[in-house]
Amino acid sequence: MSSATVVKRVVCSTPRRDSVETWDKVVEILTQGKQSAAREELAGVAGIAASIITEKAPKDAAITVTCDGPRTRIYCLYDEDAIDGSDAKEDALGYDPLAGDWSLSLPCPADDLAWVQRALKAKSKRITARDMTEKLGGEQPAASTATEASKQAADFSFDANAFLKS
């Protein structure tokens, strides 16, 4: 898989899981159940990540992981969607999302961003927070004109083999 590939997972959160259990599930997916320094680092920010999950920031803005392989985006389902669970995709990844020089970006409400960034910086160099309205590389806001939509469609590429493996 190329680094341009993006893989999406969707995790059920409240009320099916509380915010700490939701973060534990995210960590489980990212670490593939293995004990490692990365798992310890992710576990070390559980309280901070749980507060962001409680605020429903990852509902529409992804928890984004970059590494030497594909980019991973993790969203959370809430309320009736979490209870129903039909839109969830919590299965294992077909690659190590924490391979090499990985980093994780948590979406965060603007009102909480300053304290969350300070708290994360004290615990990790790899785990950061961003304003949940900020788009990361590869994410585009909805095109406002037909011309922009046409350009985006022309720039789109799809790797079916990589998609079928994940």
Closest CA to 29 of 11, 3, 44, 51: 11
Domain that residue 23 falls in: 6-134
143 is a domain residue: no
Tell me whether residue 164 is in a domain. no
Question: Is residue 98 a part of any domain in this protein?
Answer: yes
Could you write out the three-class secondary structure of 100-160? Answer: CCCEEEEEECHHHHHHHHHHHHHHCCCEEEEECCCCCCCCCCCCCCHHHHHHHHHHCCCCH
Q: Is 154 a domain residue? A: no
Beta bridge partners of 106: 129
pLDDT at position 165 is: 54
Neighbours of 121 (CB within 10 A): 12
If one counts the domains in the chain, the total is: 1
Asked whether residue 69 is assigned to any structural domain, the reply reads yes
Tell me which amino acid residue 124 is.
S
pTM: 0.79
39-83 per-position pLDDT tens digit = 999 999 999 999 999 999 999 999 999 999 899 999 999 999 999
State both tokens at 114: 């300053």
pLDDT in tens, 73-124: 999 999 999 999 999 999 999 999 999 999 999 999 999 999 999 999 999 9
pLDDT band at 162 (very low <50, low <70, confident <90, very high): low
Would you list the DSSP string of 126-142?
SEEEEETTPPPTT--PP
